[in-house]
Structure 1
Amino acid sequence: MSALHIEAQVAVIGAGAMGAGIAQVAAQAGHAVRLYDNRPGAAAQAIDGIARQLARLVDKGKLNPCERESTVARLQPAESLEALADAALVIEAIVEDLDIKQQLLRQLEALCAETCILASNTSSLSITRLAAGLARPERVIGMHFFNPAPLMALVEVVSGLATEPAVADTLYDTAKAWGKQPVHARSTPGFIVNRVARPFYAESLRLLQEGAADCASLDALLREAGGFRMGAFELTDLIGHDVNDAVTCSVFDAYYGDLRFQPSQVQKELVAAGRLGRKSGQGFYDYREGAERPQPAELRSSAEVTRCVVEGDLGVMQPLLQRLSASGVELTRRAGQGLLRIGDATLALSDGRLASQRARDDGLQNLVLIDLALDYSSATRIAITWARNTTIEARDQVVALLQRAGFNVSALADLPGLAVLRTVAMLANEAADAVLQGVASAADIDLAMCAGVNYPLGPLAWAERIGLAHTLHTLEHLQQAYGEERYRPSLLLRRTHAEGGRLHD
């Protein structure tokens, strides 16, 4: 099967922000769209809102006036469910309640033709359960858009146990024809994005709980070193802590209490206090009038550093050398285990061990560990920590070197994996497990995380950039440090590393 024919009628049920957005996308793609909502007048109001939004795009020169008029003309409010009987595709975007959605699907199955595809925009409910009990469960599928639907590129095309592959292919091709970036997913809790993204929030919340640093510093590191659009605390304040906590609890419960998805007591306290984020005026940050945004903490040094010794291959940190050289630092190279020697200090990329443990294990004096960066040649901030017996003078020499190269340097407590490295390792670990369990392909998972939540790089591609060995060792060391199943490495990571292969093969 190919994409729905342009003359096929599309129906959308639910005229809230998501339903209206989906209706706009289908209409802009050329389909006649019927929009239904059980609230009197809501569908017509939503269409008026779409018309105003498109008019603003015309005013900004981003949309042709004729395209606006034709799009609005293709949008029609429906007065009843019966008015949707001729639709080739019905997409429901109503309240996230299993019983209510199932009742609606039963009504639609009785009204619509046997060839009609019934799609749910659910973000968390099982497509298999939604289709259970229907006469034609093979026609039921998930079509999960991301908010705001007209702007966000990703669509998760989610197949339940009974969904016909041809139906999934049709919706995949249809989403592509609508200008979206679709991915195939199997119906499991959280699908792709809401499952794989859990560590992004969880690791920052845990670092905060364990006193690694303040919110502003941890957020700045994920943005300025990790390349993420927002830090975890900024993002959960934007999403709403009630919403984010509810999704985490839903995934945690669905996976029978697997500690990888364990909710955070820190976030639960915010919910209990009514500090839900931007919408309530307070969350991790204060959004009330006159409140000042806290700035990340930084280390500064007045030490003079003009040279350093490079021992061995620095792996993913190699671009740092060009940056140091460009800043006038003299580099001397010799064989070794992938370290930098700066005066009395030893600088190494974290491998998930505590700095003090690694100093003891490897016999390293004045050890300072550096965090992962998306790109060491352009990152503006980096985190460091150090072993307990590291002298202040040695630490200051490292800070001075990094300052000279143009980094703002933030200190973290000596916790395993620092901030960016442990977050990326855990994202890659969850993505690998999703591939192992047949939820989606490696390529689709990486695409989903980039297109759906704006990650700078897909988690699996990032793991390959770091090196599977380093990613795996980081997870093993995290598990050893905490003694928790939460950090257990995925079997797929272990197997791929043992085979010398690639996750995208």
Structure 2
Amino acid sequence: MDAIARSVPVGVVGAGTMGAGIAQVAAVAGHEVRVYDAVDGAAAAAVEATFARLARAVDKGRLLQEEAEDAATRLRAVDTLEDLAGCGLVVEAVVEDLEVKRALFAGLEAVCGPDAILATNTSSLSVDAVAESLALPGRVAGLHFFNPAPVLALVEVVSGARTDAGVADLLVATATAWGKTPVRAASTPGFIVNRVARPFYGEAFRLLEAGSVDAATVDALLRESGGFRMGPFELADLIGHDVNLAVSRSVWEAFGRDPRFTPSVLQERLVADGRLGRKTGGGIYADDEPPPAPSTADPVAGTGTSAPWTGAGGFDPSTPGWRIDDGDVELRLTDGRTAAQHTGGGPRTVVLVDLALDATPARVGLAAPEQAPKEHVEAAVGFLQRLGHAVTVLPDVPGLVVARTVATLAAAAADAVDSGVATAEDVDTAMRLGVNYPRGPFAWGERLGWDWVAGMLDALAAADDPGRYRVSPQLRDRAGDGGATLARRAADAMWAGDAASQALGMTLESVGPGRAEVSMRVRADMVNGHGICHGGLIFTLADSAFAFACNSYNRSTVAQGADITFLAPAREGDLLVATAQERHRNGRSGLYDVTVRRVDPDEAVIAEFRGRSREIPGTLVPGEEET
């Protein structure tokens, strides 16, 4: 579907930071934009402030001078709601109060033509509730930008139960034309980002409330090991604890006080005490003091033990299933059970390692049984230090820090998908772009295995709160198999023999029945004399994702054909991700769509690929029943 034409005026109601940002985005995209605010002078002040932001964008090289000047000519303040008559799209960005929004939309319906789309930028209220009293509720949808709107790419396009499908399609096309990355969401509490992100903060506060781990150590592990841009306490201080708590309470109340979303008592205390974060001079951290250092083990001298460390798979904190030992001490990735449970009464001490984004994190968290011999703990610490890791020794708490956070995020993502809120791809896109997660939580769940995710929640439920960590029936089905485990094993079998993909530096990010995601960083030897990545290598990346997806059922396949359309260039340093998704499967034939996008530095689509496959006799994992 085509986007709203540039000749169609756009109205924005609400001249705060978000409204002004949305107005700027629409004006730069080529629309006449009319800004209205009920407070006298607020719209005019917002327009003037936007002119200044446009000038700064020119200074920073984000806009050309003529682009900024053209946008400024299309932007104006209006004095009354009636001045929005003739707008084809009106976006409201007023206070998060349902009655205020209902009254506003009733007024907009009275002045805007029947074909005008009325969009709400609400981050938490029901689109259906906002449109409840309107004669034409089908033209109302959510268009949720993230702050600052001119900078952040993500837009959630939210459909209520009565939103016309064509309205949502038009908003998706328009957001794309405005340079944004839209994702579709159903109008459920928190939509995608605010719903799925709750465990990131919730698990951190739970650890802090229990006195298990200090805030600086939690933040350091999630940054340096988990790959998150900011730790949860740093981010909550930046956002404001009042804002963060309000979202948590809203989602919790909307879900009938579901224990999965129970707000933190400690955060409530911070808000009550006025310690809201940076805007009040301090929250978890004090602004006028140096940031506290995370807990880090002192260097261990010598070898710790005389025996070498050996085991299946070597040390890899990014994935389950490996074990490595020196005879007295064994390292394993945490699965939610404690190190004491793993060790039992045996003579060998099991030391659990926290999850990491990749195999070589800057920091590694570990935990040993409380009564473990000191020399056993030192042996583990010394071994990891010699590998170049900073080591944090944690109490023997279930799930440690990163692993429990990622498992609960993955479960929240799966629940959103299973509840029909959004597709897995849109959930992952929303979390990467909306809150800068290093990997989509659904893809992370597939990579780790849903059996590992469910096992982590089961262990946390047994040790802590069965309601908070309950495993949904759908997640239990995924963990039971649903084809995900076999798909991963088939992919691993393929990967072991795929020297070409490995030589190109590709990484299999995730795989499941009928889908796969493969990444590749463009190296200097991959570009031509014009500095552009060779098209053949982009084709190879797409073809690799296609191959993993169509072999995900553990049935050997061959390609019958493939077509690729190149849409944008890739250059040295770009991180490309190819996502393959099964479109059609019938008998022995399959049809797959592959999108190659540039994750870093932006979200541009580089190429679109379609592959056709045919099954041949044989399996990739011998002895496994075909699905």
TM-score range, shorter chain: over 0.9
Report the Cα offset of residue 163 of structure 1: 0.1
Deviations 1:63-111 (A, max 9, x none): 2110110011110111111110000000000011000100010111111
CA shift in 2, pair 1:273/1:281, >3 Å: same
- Rounded Cα–Cα distance in structure 2 between residues aligned with 1:308 and 1:93: 62
Indicate if the aligned counterparts of 1:368 and 1:390 stay in contact, CA closer than 8 A.
no
In structure 1, the residue corresponding to 2:191 is in which secondary structure? coil
- Rounded Cα–Cα distance in structure 2 between residues aligned with 1:382 and 1:315: 11
CA shift in 2, pair 1:401/1:315, >3 Å: closer
Indicate if the aligned counterparts of 2:317 and 2:354 stay in contact, CA closer than 8 A.
no
Say which of 332, 346, 357 aligns to 2:341: 357
Say which of 367, 370, 393 aligns to 2:350: 367
Q: 1:103 maps to what in 2?
A: 103
Q: Would you say 1:180 and 2:180 are equivalent positions?
A: yes
- Rounded Cα–Cα distance in structure 2 between residues aligned with 1:343 and 1:4: 67
Pick which of 207-216 and 116-125 moved more.
207-216
| Count of residues paired in the alignment | 485
- Rounded Cα–Cα distance in structure 2 between residues aligned with 1:482 and 1:319: 24
Looking at secondary structure, tell me which structure has more strand per residue. 2
Q: 1:340 maps to what in 2?
A: 324
Q: Would you say 1:480 and 2:462 are equivalent positions?
A: yes
Q: Percent identity?
A: 51
- Rounded Cα–Cα distance in structure 2 between residues aligned with 1:195 and 1:464: 19
CA shift in 2, pair 1:173/1:307, >3 Å: farther
Indicate if the aligned counterparts of 1:240 and 1:277 stay in contact, CA closer than 8 A.
yes
Deviations 1:293-315 (A, max 9, x none): 11111012323238643333469
Computed over aligned residues only, the root mean square deviation of the Cα atoms, in angstroms, reads 1.8
Q: Which amino acid aligns with 2:326?
A: I
In structure 2, the residue corresponding to 1:142 is in which secondary structure? strand
Q: Which amino acid aligns with 1:39?
A: V
Note the 1:71-470 alignment, pairs <5 A. 71-288=71-288, 291-305=289-303, 308-313=308-313, 317=317, 338-342=322-326, 344-360=328-344, 363=346, 365-377=348-360, 379-470=361-452
In structure 1, the residue corresponding to 2:105 is in which secondary structure? helix
Indicate if the aligned counterparts of 1:316 and 1:465 stay in contact, CA closer than 8 A.
no
In structure 1, the residue corresponding to 2:468 is in which secondary structure? helix
Report the Cα offset of residue 133 of structure 1: 1.4
Report the Cα offset of residue 486 of structure 1: 0.8
Normalised to the residue count of structure 1, the TM-score between the two structures is 0.93
In structure 1, the residue corresponding to 2:234 is in which secondary structure? helix
Q: Which amino acid aligns with 1:299?
A: A
- Rounded Cα–Cα distance in structure 2 between residues aligned with 1:426 and 1:185: 20
- Rounded Cα–Cα distance in structure 2 between residues aligned with 1:411 and 1:284: 22
Q: 2:616 maps to what in 1?
A: none
CA shift in 2, pair 1:316/1:128, >3 Å: farther
- Rounded Cα–Cα distance in structure 1 between residues aligned with 2:465 and 2:483: 28
CA shift in 2, pair 1:257/1:451, >3 Å: same
- Rounded Cα–Cα distance in structure 2 between residues aligned with 1:113 and 1:62: 35
Report the Cα offset of residue 283 of structure 1: 0.6
Report the Cα offset of residue 318 of structure 1: 7.1
Looking at secondary structure, tell me which structure has more helix per residue. 1
- Rounded Cα–Cα distance in structure 2 between residues aligned with 1:272 and 1:496: 41
CA shift in 2, pair 1:275/1:483, >3 Å: closer
Report the Cα offset of residue 466 of structure 1: 1.4
Indicate if the aligned counterparts of 2:365 and 2:393 stay in contact, CA closer than 8 A.
yes
Report the Cα offset of residue 316 of structure 1: 5.8
Indicate if the aligned counterparts of 2:328 and 2:347 stay in contact, CA closer than 8 A.
no
- Rounded Cα–Cα distance in structure 2 between residues aligned with 1:149 and 1:478: 38
CA shift in 2, pair 1:244/1:309, >3 Å: same
- Rounded Cα–Cα distance in structure 2 between residues aligned with 1:314 and 1:460: 26
Q: 2:522 maps to what in 1?
A: none
Normalised to the residue count of structure 2, the TM-score between the two structures is 0.75
Q: Would you say 1:3 and 2:3 are equivalent positions?
A: yes
Q: Which amino acid aligns with 1:367?
A: V
Report the Cα offset of residue 467 of structure 1: 2.0
Deviations 1:434-483 (A, max 9, x none): 11110101110000000100000000111112122222211221112224
Indicate if the aligned counterparts of 1:33 and 1:75 stay in contact, CA closer than 8 A.
yes
Q: Which amino acid aligns with 1:356?
A: A
- Rounded Cα–Cα distance in structure 1 between residues aligned with 2:308 and 2:432: 37
